[in-house]
Structure 1
Amino acid sequence: MIRRSISFALLPALAACAAGTNYRPPVVPVADAWRGAPNAPMREAGDWWTEFGDPVLDGLVATALAQNLDIEQAMARVDRARAGLRAAGAELLPAGRIEARAARERQSTESGLGQLSGLAPGFPRTVSQYDLSGGASWEIDLAGGLRRGREAAAYELEAAEASGAAMRITVAAETADAYVQLRTLQTRLAAATELEAASRRLVALVEQRHAADEASRLELEQARASAAATRATLPPLRAGIEAQLNRIAVLTGREPQAERLGLELPGAIPDAPVATAGTPGEMLRRRPDLVAAERRLAASHARIGVALAEYYPKLSLSALLGFRANAASDLLSGSANFVQGAAGLRWRLFDFGRIDAEVAAARGVEREALAAYRQAVLRAAEDLETAFAARAGALAQAGDLAQRLESAGHARRLAEQAWRAGEVSLIEVIDADRNLLEARSALAASQGEAARAAIACYRALGGR
């Protein structure tokens, strides 16, 4: 193997190169256009959540971006990666140090030089020693392993920064999603509460008619059962509202027991138009999570060069200048100084089997990173196409449900009028109540799903 038979005559040439190959971004095949993209103009640059036109949502997202602890962790990882890059760069530079030491020792007369004390009258058992020295060392990066290490650290910093940007998009989207779900549940609760009040009024009316022998016992029990069924829909909705309030509190960096910021008061379900998505190729450049995956791939490629550099010898230079004396007054005298220079060579000549394994492991990491990047691209495309489809389906459903709600409202009023006139039984009124509740709840849920799909589109587009 050529690497294993390298000669010292090639060492000067190694100083001008670096082990391994330069990184080239992979070519990932993508479609020319999205299948389900909306026919809408591109939106102008800016915060996507402002498209919902809800000041409360704007404030919540701003608070989450400033106080969320997941973002804080991501920024800490950026700081750590930046420190790693500085450390990798420092490896290429000479290292220097200054040392000072003062010691006092009482020697044993039963070991070492102390045994000679009997042959030398007045031999001092207690001695002092003072040292002051400065040294420098430098590993010459012949094979470029240190340069590849710095290159990998730079890629890892870029990956950390992109991951931080991706986390900001995730937190903003999660906050908006929780807010939309909160407003959806509050709307459904308001509809159920209104119907529950109507059911109670109906029960009271049936009780009066039953007392006057104008309504049967069966009609009374039917009215009571319907009212109980309507009341039973309220606790799950209240629990869902509480869960979303807790979720928003944590996303904004507060305890779930914190003050609700007025969010417990009902509000309208916000919605926003979804702009066109551009092309799949543009998505690769603007989604920070895909940028992070590609940068991690670049770092793993550079780490192969670090491993390959271990096949070659490593040359280091060092120097030491200092003073050493047994008395502090003599420490800086001319006779107390000493100078040392050294050149060192380290070569894992008989350890190539282990280096082979290290290189193979580095190549395996790169292969895994490449597969992870390609998978991330596929999943990103899947997320966006799914969000487009969900948005279109929810909007179409909301249109149909709005018509259903209008018809159910008319049917409910007509049924009650007919029952009061004795033309239909109470069961028709109860059925009309149930249909009205289902229509209002389904419409609110569909509107919420449309808004959540819009959030998913913006998130899948990289916050654009």
Structure 2
Amino acid sequence: MNLRRRLGLFMASSMLLSACTVGPNYQPDRMKVPAGFKEAAEEHTATPEEIERTNKEMTEWWASFNDPMLTSLVEQAIAGNFDLQIAGQHILAERAIRDRSASQWYPQMDANIGGGDVRYSINIDNWPIRPGNPSNRPQASMMTYGAMATWEVDVFGRIRRDVEAHERAVEASIEGRRALLMTLLSELASDYMLLRVTQLQISIATNNIRVAKEGVDLSNKLYLEGVGNTLQTAQAQAELDAQIAAREPLKTRVSQVTHAIAVLLGKMPGELEDQLKVVRPLPVVPAFPATMPSIVMANRPDVRMAERKYALATAQIGVAVANLYPHFVIPLTFNPNASAMYQLFQVNAMSWQFLMMASLPIMHGGKMTAEIRAAQASAEAARLSYRQTVLTAFKEVEDAMAAWHDDIEYAEQLHKAAEDSALASERARKLYGAGLVGFLEVLTTERTTLNAQNMEAMAKLERLRDAVNLYTAIGAGWKGVPLTNSTLPVSLETQNVLARAFKQ
């Protein structure tokens, strides 16, 4: 049987055997989950309009706050945040690693050329006679060129499992970027809400400073009229000083939050200060989602990433199992050599080998079986991690829903308390002006009013953050945001002429 026929039979048998891929095939973990959420609003049949609104909110939830500035900041953050760009480059790196693994399917070939002088030892008995170079002439000139190639035939699927594992790693890195995007948008929105509420608190503090100044003027007037006393004027001045001092930390917080927002957008801390420090109304709290089936948890990137890591770990079991089976390799060497240029292409100068090699592991002290056990344990850990991620996700959604519903009544009660305190403070000042109550009652009611107004402002912040937390918990916001692909200014294809002709 000639060599060509043997090679044909070997290739045919290899292709048939290549259908055999050892190791377990990935099966998604079927975790039993409830159909809905316990803390969700009372179930009702959602109208098509409500479903459409909810689906839109899942894609661009920040638009539901009806704040153009927030929407603009989100767009700038998606385009400019460096952490997000770094995550994108990690995806590109994972894809390149996957392609490197897939290259094992193809023949690996290198060419060589060389020449020079060599000297052989003559201190060895029975040294073979070298044509054209007897033992009394150990030096020789040699020229050579050739090629070396090797090709592994993936009979038992080791390469396929390796590529599969790297493909799952690519998918996990994509979900990791999406999770980072959600965290980025959540942090940006929370900082923006804090900025607007802090500006509201500064407005409240400024108003209380005005009231305190009126109290100083009133106490001085009463003192001059012989009705008041120096204790009351001192108390009024101390209250004014305290109100002025209380406003300063709020200004510091505004500066710090504007710096944080700028960095999230990939800008220097001071770039957005003039733009963000302009006082604007608070964003509008959106309506609670009209429909909330538990299937929305499939949108959470961390859940999707945990599932992809489980698939990756399952593929790695296959890689470890395939190492127990024979490896089939076809090596090829073509390496003519001679002492003169004209001899290099003569038949006598030809030197080559073409083999079909198979290797079977026999004894490695339990190394390979230990690798299989390690891969199995890692896969089981990944499966359990997936389940824990799902449980944590459900907890976060339930917590966000509970906070949403409970904070509604909390905010309403604080609003009523702030109104009642303001009314009491106004009456106390009038009674003090009429000499019917002392200045202590005025101070008490003013401090109660300030505290109630600040608590109401913080309750508004919590209401806004409840909405942000709920959208983040259900995995909204990453859809429709494509992967940004940035490349180095040097094109690798232009660095080597062979790179344009061959897959290197």
**TM-score of the superposed pair, with normalisation by structure 2:** 0.83
- Alpha-carbon distance, 1:111 to partner: 7.1
Aligned partner of 2:375 in structure 1 is: 362
Cα displacement string for residues 398-424 of structure 1 (whole angstroms, at most 9, x for unaligned residues): 111222222222222211111111111
Corresponding position: 1:457 with 2:460: no
Matches within 5 A, 1:227-246: 227-246=240-259
The answer to whether the 8 A contact 1:37-1:276 is kept is no
**1:112–1:329: structure 2 CA closer, same or farther, 3 Å change rule?**
farther
Q: Within 2, Cα distance between the matches of 1:455 and 1:377?
A: 20
Q: Within 2, Cα distance between the matches of 1:61 and 1:104?
A: 69
Aligned partner of 1:35 in structure 2 is: 38
Aligned partner of 2:404 in structure 1 is: 391
Corresponding position: 1:44 with 2:59: no
**1:121–1:410: structure 2 CA closer, same or farther, 3 Å change rule?**
closer
Cα displacement string for residues 277-308 of structure 1 (whole angstroms, at most 9, x for unaligned residues): 5322x134222221111011001011011111
Cα displacement string for residues 228-261 of structure 1 (whole angstroms, at most 9, x for unaligned residues): 3323322332222222112111111122243425
Corresponding position: 1:299 with 2:302: no
More deviation in 268-277 or 157-166? 268-277
- Specify which of 62, 66, 87 is matched with residue 100 of structure 2: 87
The answer to whether the 8 A contact 2:297-2:474 is kept is no
Structure 2 counterpart SS, 1:85:
helix
**TM-score of the superposed pair, with normalisation by structure 1:** 0.90
Aligned partner of 1:260 in structure 2 is: 273
Q: Within 2, Cα distance between the matches of 1:261 and 1:329?
A: 80
Aligned partner of 2:22 in structure 1 is: 19
Corresponding position: 1:308 with 2:311: no
Letter of the structure 2 residue corresponding to residue 278 of structure 1: M
Matches within 5 A, 1:144-223: 144-223=157-236
Structure 1 counterpart SS, 2:308:
helix
- Specify which of 285, 298, 312 is matched with residue 298 of structure 2: 285
Q: Within 2, Cα distance between the matches of 1:55 and 1:329?
A: 79
Cα displacement string for residues 29-61 of structure 1 (whole angstroms, at most 9, x for unaligned residues): 211211112357431334111111111001101
Letter of the structure 2 residue corresponding to residue 140 of structure 1: V
The answer to whether the 8 A contact 2:227-2:435 is kept is no
Q: Within 2, Cα distance between the matches of 1:330 and 1:212?
A: 126
Matches within 5 A, 1:406-445: 406-445=419-458
**1:451–1:344: structure 2 CA closer, same or farther, 3 Å change rule?**
same
**1:333–1:413: structure 2 CA closer, same or farther, 3 Å change rule?**
same
Q: Within 2, Cα distance between the matches of 1:411 and 1:72?
A: 55
- Alpha-carbon distance, 1:264 to partner: 1.2
Cα displacement string for residues 201-234 of structure 1 (whole angstroms, at most 9, x for unaligned residues): 3223323433443311221222123223323322
The answer to whether the 8 A contact 1:412-1:433 is kept is yes
Q: CA RMSD in A?
A: 2.6
**1:382–1:175: structure 2 CA closer, same or farther, 3 Å change rule?**
same
More deviation in 94-103 or 364-373? 94-103
Q: Which runs of 5+ in 1 are unaligned?
A: 1-9
- Specify which of 269, 272, 275 is matched with residue 289 of structure 2: 275
Aligned partner of 2:483 in structure 1 is: none
The answer to whether the 8 A contact 1:187-1:267 is kept is no
Aligned residues: 449
The answer to whether the 8 A contact 1:162-1:291 is kept is yes
Q: Within 2, Cα distance between the matches of 1:55 and 1:396?
A: 28
More deviation in 211-220 or 414-423? 211-220
Taking every aligned residue pair, what percent have the same amino acid on both sides? Answer: 27
